[in-house]
Structure 1
Amino acid sequence: MMLETLSRTISIEEAPIAIATLDTNLCFINCSRVWEEAFTASNKDIVGKSFFDIIPNSPQKFRKVLENSFSLKDNIIEEQRHILPDGSSQWYKWNIKPWKQSEDEIGGLIIIHTNITKEKHVKELLIAAENVAKMGGWDLDMITNTIHWSHITKEIHEVPLDYVPSLETGINFYKEGEHRENITKLIHNAVTHGKTWDTELQIVTAKGKELWVRAKGMPEFIDGKCVRLYGIFQDIDKEKKAEIKNAQIKERLDLATEVANIGIWEYNVLNDKLEWNEQMFPLFGVKREEFKYNFESWKATVHPEDLERCLKEFDLALSGIQDFKTQFRIIHPDGSVKHIKANAGLFKDNDGKIIKMVGTNWDITQLVNTQLKLDKSEESFKGSFKSSAVGMALVAKDGSWIDVNDSLCTSLGYSRNELLKLTFQDITHPEDLNDDLEHLQVLLEGRGNSYHLEKRYFHKKGHIIYVVLTVTAVKDIEGNLSHFISQVMDISAKIEAQKKSEEFLELTKNQNNSLLNFAHIVSHNLRSHSSNLSMLSNYLVDEEGESERKEIEAMIIDASESLDETVMHLNEVVQITTEAKEQLQDVNLKTIVKNVEKNISAHLQQKNVECDISIDPSIQVKGIHAYLDSILLNLFTNSIKYSSPNRIPRISIEANKVGKTIILNFKDNGLGINLERHGEKLFGMYKTFHQHEDAKGIGLFITKNQIEAMNGKIEVESAVDQGTLFKITFVAA
């Protein structure tokens, strides 16, 4: 027994920690050197002395802790603050365990001491920092699914200090909607992908208060598995709301500067100086030269019955209690009363002192009067709504039906209950939806009061209903959008009748165009042939040489055959009684060009025109023979008619296939056209661009109409005294 005690004594004395053994009277049996250094002077013998004699500054309640330790089996860990003689304090952590003299007898206590003063001070500083910054902490153990909140975190959530949160209840404190969805995603990404987060969100406290908080979280992984989430939680409500408020003020100011009919004002609090923009003077009916640019000048315009209230609201705004957002009446010099809407924001200096207020005013007289009339006629409207023969609906801002009348249900084929479960988007024709939504967005943004358009709905049975839709925005007394009134007039029968009428008119128009083209072609084409024959006849009369006469006679025969062919083509035009597009045939382009060249050969020879025709013989276009004759004849004769006297006339014709089209380039080196001056009227009827006795101003007009009748188009490039290029696009055969 003595050897065991000696062994224990030696081991305790040499222990590297502050440890001591006490007997049942709480007197020292032995202790380690580390203990002696902490609590006693050098070489002071403490064996047999009471614990409280050696450590006299121990708290009184610590005696009871030691006395109660004899009856406990497990260790006791106790933290105690000890006041030293010099007034300073030390924090100690005591680890206390009873030791046995025998199986049935307690011999005393084993005490291990640790100085935790430094750790306590650090902890106190952290707690103080949390309180100042309103920043709390949290810790989630993913293994045990337990979560710990610091007392600051609990204060922010306005829950009791003994509140025990769970992951689910913690998430549910976040405001329902995007805030709760965002924190859920962030936690998921942290657990699955190891991503940290630092974000600003809104919570709803246990007492129902909405707060902006900064939430920061970090995951801890072991062996690729998230075992812990921890982070900080900070109340930033005041700063965030100030930020939002400043953003709102900026938005109001930006809006005011963009809208030309809104008055903008700025009041300097320090020097009582009031500035108005140009719109404010007519808005208030004040002449610029009579305005004194101070607060009293504004007060003089306000209706006496509204002045006291406005001044109170103004003072509250300057005190920072609320925004200056109001409406009031003003009296114009002519005695008329106007209703004014006002919004304003505050500006502060670096010390937080309010120095000026900037705001906007606009006239809402018409809106107020309209609202009053609407209020008076509300009951009348309800009766009219129900019994109206025109379809009517009350529509919410999201497009859902608030109410519908019987006429609308009848037009669309739905019962009232069926229609109320839908939105107008559900039954609108897809091609009309965007136009309707764009008009609606204008009303939602407050940039209009109503719109009117024709659109299509789908009947319950699937067929299309044509309607005239009128949508009017309904606003409350403060000018805020409430809902919409839609009037839906079924015009399906009218549309069907209109379609038939348009089809008949289009048919008549096409027939008239065909007759007009026919008349112009007859006049134009036959005149060219007769002129050609007359010229050849004169050559024959004047020519004495036999060989030359035979050549002219051959040309007369060719011209006669061309005339006969033209008459035959004109006969084809007579047969066209419906759209030219339905009469298109495959025509060889090179053949038609060469025939026209042959028809006017005398004119070409007379002017010494050089022709270069480069067209693949296989190229065919969709066209009408007579129209193609007329088009090419007009281009040839124009190139001859408007050739330059300073150079040999040249005509270049080529054709290329591009995709499903044929591009014909008809180019000359004649006088050219000033497109900058005449471009817009180039193809107009009776438009001439050169002084020429034969210019009628009809050729290019006919040409363009004929080309478009064959699904083609014509473009022109020209430069004065350089020449002209016509690009004609035909449909390839």
Structure 2
Amino acid sequence: MSEKDTEKRELYNKIFIEQAPTAIAMLDNDMKYIAVSQRWISDYKMEGKEIIGQSHYDLFPEIGEDWKANHQKCLNGAIDICEEAPFKRADGTIQWIYWDVRPWYVSEGKIGGLLMHTGDITPQKLKDKEQARMIEILDKTNEVARIGTWEVIFSTNKVYWSKMVCEIHEVPENYTPELETAINFYKEGESRETIQQVVDRAILTGQPYDVEVELVTAKGATIWTRAIGNAEFVDGKCVGLFGIFQDINERKQSEQALSKANAELKAIFNSKTIAIITTNDKGIINSFNHGAENLLGYSASEIVGSKAPGIYTNKEEVKRFLLDMSQKYGKDPDVFNPMKELAEKNEFDVREWNYRKKDGANITVQATLSAVKNDDGELIGFLNVATDITERKKAENELLRRNQVLNLAERLTMIGNWQWNTISNEVRWSNNLYKIFGVDEELQELTYNTYFSYVHPEDRELVTNHVTLALENKKFPDLMHRIQLRDGKVKNIHLLAEVMTNEAGEVTELVGSCQDVTEQRMEEIKFRGLLESAPDAMVIVNEAGEIHMINKQAEKLFGYTAQELIGNSVEILIPEVFNKKHPNHRSSFFANPKTRDMGEGKELIGINKKGKLIPIQISLSPLKTQEGVLVSAAIRDITFQKIAEGKILKAKEELEVFANKLVVKNTKLADFTQITSHNLRAPVSNLNALLGFYKLAQSEEERLDLFQKLENVVQHLTLTLNTLVEALNIRKENNSDKLEKIEFKAVMVKTQEILSGEIMRTGAVIKSDFSKLPYITYNIIYLESIFLNLVGNALKYRSADRVPEIFVTTGIENGKKFLKVTDNGQGINLKRHGHKLFGLNKVFHRHPDARGIGLFMTKTQVEAHGGSISAESEVNVGTTFNINFN
């Protein structure tokens, strides 16, 4: 290439680089600039500087030795590419950039210098950093508030819980809830019914819900939660639910909790950017800091020297401020200057204002207004220091609402909260606690002695000892005692408290609750009287198996005193040979507590204090209390009853022999009855369906066709009745089951005719292939019942999303004859229901006609002839029933 061509090419390259839309620089072998793009100049703030011919390192003195070494490698033919890296500029700022540095060639193999292609990604990095910070703040906020998210997707039957939702339910973080069983976490009764109702309503109408319900966690804890949900619809169909979930169980009635919440709230407020605005004596803004820019959305250049505070204040609020200040100082508002008055009195004004931002949005601020004076004390303007309290106002309103709810809860549960500062002896009571003690809320000076003066004289020593030990041990066990009101009325109260200490471990305050349990105490006394009046021995046990209470009859039966038994394991009353199994029986009962009558279950043996074995009967009843579920056991000594039982045992054995003979005869009759009722139900149901079609028919031809189908069903019904009557006569004669050669196709035709009404209504497509096994020797009643059950089930449990398709086939495999019935219906969750698929009265879908008899009867009929039946199924795909005849 000629020198002229080379110069021409370099000129073109230079022009290209200068006009490139990205940051590009061309340097020679001495790292001096040959050409740069305008974007390069703007990205690196080099406007007005002489660049061409200058050394890259002179313009960027902050470049370190490591980058210089990379440049030398590139001048030797290397390529240096970096996706992102921080570039610390000489002025101390950090600029995030990416680069592609590679050599350019004068001719083949000869390097003329470097091409640098870079980009400034600092704004994106700052944005990503801010977004990550906001996400972190949101996660932390949700964690503090114990709020989690959840979602249900109906297309996949999947339920998703966030980490916090799993934590609230006390399940592992990787726990996968199931759509069908997730509702079982809600406490049975009102809470479960409430959540079921609002969820059903949301799915049906799209109405969102926000409810507070009780939840039983995976570890058995009962807590209050708040569930908020919304439905998502596509083309008018609900495709999913989503919402938030919050643990609201720890609403403690304590000043400590409120104090902590206020402290955290203040910390958040204090961290907000503060706006500082000043004006001159003419009211024109002459200072507008960065905080004011962030707060109001204006830049300082837009405001300073040209605007007055009226650009962001509300005229009505300004008038109200003027009136308030004039009334405060007793001045005429028409000639009053509030700022001048503040200056003269060296005072300031703090109040809430509603400011208007540049974009028109309104915010609430707390502003401190004060006068600005010069060294001579002359008014030269005013100072406005404002903090955005919009979120705080919302929080205060929410706190007020929650306090109202808390006060309502206290009134309903007869609970009050209190706080005792042990250093200052200052005591604070909630409103409801005043009512419990019958004290006027105007009484402001409360101390520990105020409370102690109400303690019943007989309980004062108990209370004094309890409080003394609590202060020494820094732990306050529950305390129940009596108080005596000024009118002489006696109440029972229950105290709960937390002991607070400072960094030195010294007790600084106690925070707790007080509940009026007078009615509960009266009920307890009444219960104790009933317990002692019971004719049987009574033993009350908690879930841990510890004896909670006994009556005198129990002391007499087992020979122990109440003091010897209370707190001990109930196994002390059970012989050692049964001790190992009893805890499992006890746990099973607590897992599903229900009343068990006297004498129900196995015969039991007890043991008294002297080691004597006692035959007993036990009646168990669960008791729900504030301490959890207790079990009341009524125990009866049946020693004399056992003697009487021995006398009738021989007569019983003789009766059993006779009864067994009756059972054998009745079993076949019961089996026949079930077959009869089930096989007649399908033809009758189809008669009703065909009658419905017949009433709706619009032409004579259509009615004639339907009438023909009605005749066919009636004929088959008549034939079925005759066959069943004949079978009954055969059974009466004690003959064995009648077997005959049966054509599968004929049974299939008869089945379709019997089910013709349902087939017409659903539009079902039924196909069959009996070419590999056309005939079988079998009981005709059983085979027709099997076909009717399996095909009828395929129609009954069809999918709502597609036309039913049923395929029936027979054949021989590994020497065994088989029948297969395949459908594309709803399918069955075999993981959940496979073990009970062919059980009696077991249903797996919410179909109004489901009885749980058909598959049980089919299995019984198949096995009666030495065969077997199994199923393969996938939910929302379909089911295949496989029958091996022998």
TM-score per shorter chain, which class? 0.3 to 0.5
Bigger relative contact order, structure 1 or 2, given CA contacts below 8 A and separation 6+? 1
